[in-house]
Every structure is written in structure tokens, then in C-alpha cells.
Amino acid sequence: MSEEMKQKLIDAGRKDLVEVYEINQSGFAGMNASGNIVDRRKFPLAVPVQENKLLDIPKPKKLDNE
């Protein structure tokens, strides 16, 4: 996602979409018990989001304690 697209989303009040995108791109995305995408560095019990080339989601990175 380009910086221009990020800014357009933020201006439209959808900063949440930008945050989820950035978490996914970091490789530390996970799903918590509620089904929300979270950063596994903050929520280590979350299930890692699996790699998906169609959605441009990278392979999950390991946490330091794994």
C-alpha cells in the first residue's frame, strides 16, 4: 500500500485499516480469541496469521520466546 493510499484511508477515518495492514506486513499478525487481528508481540497467545500470497501476507515470524 502506498503512502498516498494510507493517507487517504486515514483522512477517511479508517486508520484501523492502515494499522491492520501494517501488522500483517510485519509478520507478527495474529488472531485473538475474539477473531481480531492483533500484534503477537503484544498478545503472544494469538494464533499466527498464515502466509497468503494472494493477500500479500508474509510468512509469520517467530516470537523471541518461541
pTM surpassing 0.75? yes
Q: What is the pLDDT of residue 32?
A: 94
**Per residue in 2-47, pLDDT tens?**
999 999 999 999 999 999 999 999 999 999 999 999 999 999 999 9
How close are the terminal C-alpha atoms of the chain, in Å?
30
* DSSP at 52: B
Q: Are 63 and 46 in contact (CB under 8 A)?
A: no
**What are the structural domain ranges in the chain?**
1-66
Of 29, 33, 34, 39, whose CA–CA distance to 59 is shortest?
Answer: 29
